[in-house]
Structure formats: C-alpha cells, structure tokens
Structure 1
Amino acid sequence: MCNLISVPPLRDENQLLLRAQALSGFTLGELAMKAQWRMPANLKRAKGWVGVLLEFHLGAKAGSKPEQDFADIGIELKTIPVNAQGRALETTFVCVAPLTGNSGVIWESCHLRNKLSRVLWIPVEGERHIPLAERRVGTPLLWSPNAEEEKQLRDDWEELMDLIVLGNVESIRAHHGEILQLRPKAANGQSLTEAVGKQGQRIMTLPRGFYLKKNFTNKLLSRYFFI
C-alpha cells in the first residue's frame, strides 16, 4: 500500500458527510485504484483494510491512536458489512476494553462513550460471494445515541465493567449485555494482557474488546434506511 495522494483536512461534519456521500456507489476496487493502493486478496489477514481505505479517502488522521477517527470534529467512523437486504453481517468493534486501572472510571468520561457520541456509519457490501474489489460502498449515516440508546449502552457498560472490576472477566459470555458485548480481541492465543482475578490478584488473559451486537445495529439501520 502506498499513499501517493493526500486528502485536505476536514472543516466540519457537513464536509465529512459530503465526502462520505461522494464515495457511495463506488466499489472497493475503484477506491483502491483512486488511492493507488494494492488490493488484498481477501480480508482474512487484512480485517481492518476496508475501514482504513475509507478513512484515507475521508481524511481521517487518528490512525491507531486511542481517540475518535476524526478527533478534530468529534466523529468516529464505523464501516458495517451488510447483506443484500441491508442487514448487518457481524458485530461492530468499538474499542479495546480496559481490564485494569478502572478505579473511579464512570460512564460519562469513559472511552467507549466518547467513541459512540457521534458516529459516521458507512454500510459496505459484505457477502462473501461478492469479490472484494466488486463490493460497493453504501449511503452514509451520521448518528448520535438518543436517550433510550444512551441508557442501554450505559447499563450494559456498567454491567460489564462491574464484572471486570470484580475479577470475573473470564466468566463474561456473549449473552451478557443487551446491545453491548465483551469479546476476546487478539491476533492469537499468545497475545495476553493483565487483568484482575477473583481474589484481586493479577492474572494474564486475552485482551477484550467492546462490540455492538447485530440486534442493535440492525435496528439502527432499519430506522434510518426504512429497511
């Protein structure tokens, strides 16, 4: 991959939305060609490639930093693979979950709430029978949680963080949380990180990430796109 072109900085969210709308209808192959990037054969070893390609075209600067993708204007980018009916094909990763040092952390100032405070959703065709280069980018959507969604997110986050703080991280399963899920996020089983055990001792475990469940993203897409 090589960046031989540059994208001017963004002024505001309206300009970001216009840029995202301008990408709608293009295939990933066409966008890779415009950016002068090489296409991966598939996403097995390039899982975040689609998001990085769209970030580049939109002018994101955060990279791998622990902040919003468009921190200057307070917006996070989330690509979402969808099927022909416009329904999400997988859960949506939000951010890495902190497994230590959580004393005094509250919802109002947590990283996850900051990430989800304003999101630019971009659906992308994700069905496996469509070659990667031929998958099209869909219509973007700018979203912030309404009062009900904020309460759901907060309730789930508090439940999951209580389990982490009390040393039960390894007991957390997919059924915990109504719309938010805590799952292992690691390249392999050797990528361990520190966490708190049941007796308050230090243990080593797989890193965890917060994910939005498909029931939530499908409801969101249905509301805005009248699916």
Structure 2
Amino acid sequence: MLFDYNNKNEKSIYDYAKKLEGMTFREVLDEYKDSMYKTYDDFHHLRTKVNDSPNISYLNKDPGYIYNPKAKGQLGGLLENCYFGYKPNSDPHADFFDVGVELKSTPIEKKNNGGYRAGERLSITNISFEEPVEDNFYKSHVWEKIKRILLIQYLRDKSIDRLDYMIEFVNLFTPPKEDLKIIIDDYNAINNKIKQGKAHELSEGDTMYLGACTKGATAKKSMRPQYYGDHEPAKKRNYCFKTAYMNFVLKNYILKNNVPYESIVKEKIDSTVQDYILKLINRHIGQTDEELCKEYNREYNNNKAQWKDLSFRMLGIKGNHAAELEKANIVVKTIRIEENGKNKESMSFAPFKAKELVNENWEDSTVYEYFEATQFLFVVFKKSGNRYKLKGAKLWHMPYHDLNKVVHEEWGQYQNIIKNGVKFEITNSDSGKMNIKNNLPGQKDTKIIHIRPHSQKAAYKLNNGVQIGNVERDADELPNGEWMTRQSFWLNREYVLKQLKDLL
C-alpha cells in the first residue's frame, strides 16, 4: 500500500523503497492515481483508527500528480510525490530529515556488452551565490545531502517513453572514508574559487569527485550576480557527484563487481590527491626516457606505448584503471616535444556521428560535456639528442573562456556546415588516384579544435555515384544521406603547446 512506511525510521524507509525494484514509473503513477490517499499525511494522520478508511472531511484535496514529459528531473519528483507522499522541494535539508536520509534518483544505461554504466552526474544541492559559503564541510548542506543517500537507479532507454523506464536498484549509500577526503578537498576548491569572485569560471574539471555543474535551461536565463568580488554574473550551478564517480559507485559499491582497481595513493597523505599525483611524476624531472626505463625495469624500445607506460609506472600503477583516475575522470596524455619546441601530433578524441551532432544543443553536446567534466594529466617529455627528457606533469582542464566562447563558436561552425551539407571536391592525381576534399575548416582555420578523419582508411559514398573504400566499416552517414570517412574532433597542436609553456 502506498505511503505505508515510517519516515522517522531508516529501515522502514529503505524496506519500503526497496519494493520499487522491478517497477516502472508508469506503474507507480497508476497506483497513485488509483489510491484514495494522495500524501504521506493522508495515510498516516487522516485515517480513522476503527476501520482504516479515510476521514473524508480531512482528506487531502490534491487533484493528482501531473506528469510533464519535458521537465528535467520529473521522474525524481514523481517518486517523491506519488510514492513517498511528499511534495518535491528545494529544501537544503535531507528529504527524510529525522533520520538524515536524502532521496536521489538517477539514470543508468546498458552497455553493448550487457553491463551497466552511470547515465549522468548526480545533482546534490544548489550552490548559492547570494550569501557567504560555509567553510566547514560538516556543517554544509552538501554533507547533509550526501551523508546517507537513498539511491534509486533506473534504466534509461531513450527509445521508449520515460514513464516506462524500469527501476533497477535501490540502495543506501554513504561515500566511503577514502572518497570523503577527496570530496572535502573538492568542496574546498569550489568554495575557494567562489570566494575569489570567480564563480563564473567554475568548471567540473576543477575537481575530482565533487563537481560544480551548470543548472538552468540556458546560460542567459540562469545567470546570477555573485556575492563575492565584483558581483560578476555567473551561471547557476549545483554541487554534484561527477558522472565518472557515479560510474565507479555503480560498478563497485552497488553491483559489487569486485573489479581489481589499482590505487595511486597507497598510504595516508597530507596533501591533496592532485598534488600527490604531480609529486610522483615531477620528482623524476630531468631524467631521460632511457633512465626511467632502467629504473622501472622496462625494455627501452622506443615504441609508441613506451612513454605512456612510463607515466603509469611513475604513478605506481600498470595502466589507466587506477581508482583515483577512474573516479575523477582524469585522462593521462603523454606529449613529446621535439628539439625545435614543436609537438608532433594533435590530440584526438572519440569519433562522433554527424547525424547526432547536428541535433545537439551546445550545453548538452558531447564536446561540451567532455571538456567541461574531464581533467587531463599531461606528462611532457622533450627531445634532447637522441633521448627524451621528462619536463614535468600538470593537471589541466579547458579554461572557461576557451570552452564557452572559442570552442562553442568553432563547434557551431562545424555543426552548421554538416547540417547544411558538406561540399565535396573530387580531383585526380597524376597517377590517377582519386582525391576527395571537403569544405570543413582545417587546423589552420581554427584556434582550438578541428575536425579530421578518425579512420585510417578513407571511405565515401556520395550522391553523385562516387564510392570508395569500405563504407560500412570506415564511413559515417551525413544528414543528406551521403557518407564520408568517419571524423573526430582534435585539439590543435599549437593550442596544446600553449597549455604546456610553463613546463617548457
């Protein structure tokens, strides 16, 4: 029966919530519509003691829950209203105040291999720009919201109506001790930036597990004056657990997959994890790649993987799956600088699908999400004679202006060209080989990002009948039905080099 739980008893709340597993949101809503009780108070305070029937004169006159399929966060509100019997609110205190339990619902998605991954970041509570920040983490609303979370995870399938999403897992979750230290460091880092009057420069990439995510339909609508500094308007933001952290929570604390993760931090440290990571690498500054191979008992063979492997070994791990890197979405990038001061390569990212790109909004786009939430650990070597010397390491994320001004404009330029139809020019070389050029801006035409082929082999299928290469394997379909070699975004070489100037 709906609302048949004690909101002042954690076990009662949990046992009642656990019944949601296997239900769809539609089933919850239908049960609510059929119920004579519309709130928790209806059920517990307005029933007669004699025959368990409602006292009609006092029964809540709520007309029923109205589902808006377009509203963000609607499914969480549905559970609050229709299953737990209280009105959705923005109260900074925990939802079940008497026991300190906060209700949070969040999507998960099924991977191609049948496993699960987190669908998005978990919003925690509003960051207020209208009052001083709370310096004491344990007195903050963040701690009140995360110290005991009733975490409800539902399976998102964008091909069906959201009401038909099924609730898969219901668990009580508290961040473990080893995570909490990093979460507190993140909280302090966010607040320090706010106190400097730089809330407008906040980014999820500033921190490890706890992020500052944007909130509001559009940037213009969500702007608020800052309390600190010159009161420059800043986007509304929420404290959140970043997507990478939620993915780790799902795999290791909910599913308990017991995946063997390495750890960079193997003992108690006094510094932040970020500083500790940099210290592990920077203690080797000045050593050559050959010397590092000898120190870490690795063959010196100059293959492409050698320098990245050395980066991991300096961190005391074997690969990219260290717990701290996974939870914080830190991507290790090893960069080699030649004697002339130039880096050999641009930096590539995952390929995109053109038909998806043209339908994206900027703040929901793959490019924005990636650079907003990702930190990079740049490990830099510079050529000296016939060896490469370690110049140092830095943690970097794309600055606010670069992402929200320059990259936004360049991304929009590519989106418009692809949406309106890529123009192809076909030429033949002296040897008779067919070459196909397009009108997408190249690296020389942009400041930060450019598009170029991700596949090693060219493949095209054009509306004029021209077809070359393995289209099914190496090409991507454009909105107008033509196919071109699969593309990805790249960071420009010169831009990457500018970010490393303090190491060179």
Q: Same fold (TM over 0.5)?
A: yes
Distance 1:35 1:105, change over 3 A: same
- Matching residue of 1:203: 232
How many angstroms apart in 1 are the aligned matches of 2:24 and 2:151? Answer: 17
* Residue of 88, 94, 99 corresponding to 2:124: 94
How many angstroms apart in 1 are the aligned matches of 2:189 and 2:171? Answer: 29
- Is residue 213 of structure 1 aligned with residue 242 of structure 2? yes
Secondary structure, aligned partner of 1:90: coil
- Matching residue of 1:191: 222
Normalising by structure 2, we get a TM-score of 0.41
How many angstroms apart in 1 are the aligned matches of 2:142 and 2:153? Answer: 21
Counterpart contact for 2:107–2:118, Cα < 8 Å: yes
- Matching residue of 1:15: 12
Shift of 1:217: 1.0
Distance 1:103 1:136, change over 3 A: closer
Q: In structure 1, what residue type is equivalent to 2:20?
A: L
- Is residue 83 of structure 1 aligned with residue 109 of structure 2? yes
Secondary structure, aligned partner of 1:83: strand
Shift of 1:221: 1.3
- Give matches, 1:133-212, under 5 Å: 133-188=163-218, 189-196=220-227, 200-212=229-241
Secondary structure, aligned partner of 2:169: coil
Distance 1:70 1:220, change over 3 A: same
Q: In structure 2, what residue type is equivalent to 1:49?
A: Q
Shift of 1:112: 0.7
Distance 1:190 1:133, change over 3 A: closer
Distance 1:136 1:16, change over 3 A: same
Shift of 1:6: 6.0
Counterpart contact for 1:68–1:74, Cα < 8 Å: yes
Counting aligned pairs with the same residue, the percent is 23
Counterpart contact for 1:182–1:211, Cα < 8 Å: yes
More strand by share: 2
Normalising by structure 1, we get a TM-score of 0.87
- Give matches, 1:107-122, under 5 Å: 107-122=137-152
Backbone CA RMSD of aligned residues? 2.1
Relative contact order, higher structure (CA 8 A, sep 6+): 1
Counterpart contact for 2:123–2:239, Cα < 8 Å: yes
Shift of 1:178: 0.6
Shift of 1:39: 4.1
- Is residue 49 of structure 1 aligned with residue 49 of structure 2? no
Counterpart contact for 1:62–1:70, Cα < 8 Å: no
> What per-residue deviation string (whole Å, max 9, x for no partner) do you get for residues 178-225 of structure 1?
11211221233233322046xx22222221111211111111111221
Counterpart contact for 2:135–2:188, Cα < 8 Å: no
Distance 1:103 1:93, change over 3 A: closer
Shift of 1:123: 0.6
Counterpart contact for 1:119–1:144, Cα < 8 Å: yes
Counterpart contact for 2:200–2:233, Cα < 8 Å: no
How many angstroms apart in 2 are the aligned matches of 1:39 and 1:7? Answer: 23
Shift of 1:98: 2.2
How many angstroms apart in 2 are the aligned matches of 1:90 and 1:18? Answer: 26
Q: In structure 1, what residue type is equivalent to 2:109?
A: N
How many angstroms apart in 2 are the aligned matches of 1:46 and 1:9? Answer: 30
How many angstroms apart in 1 are the aligned matches of 2:243 and 2:18? Answer: 24
Shift of 1:68: 1.0
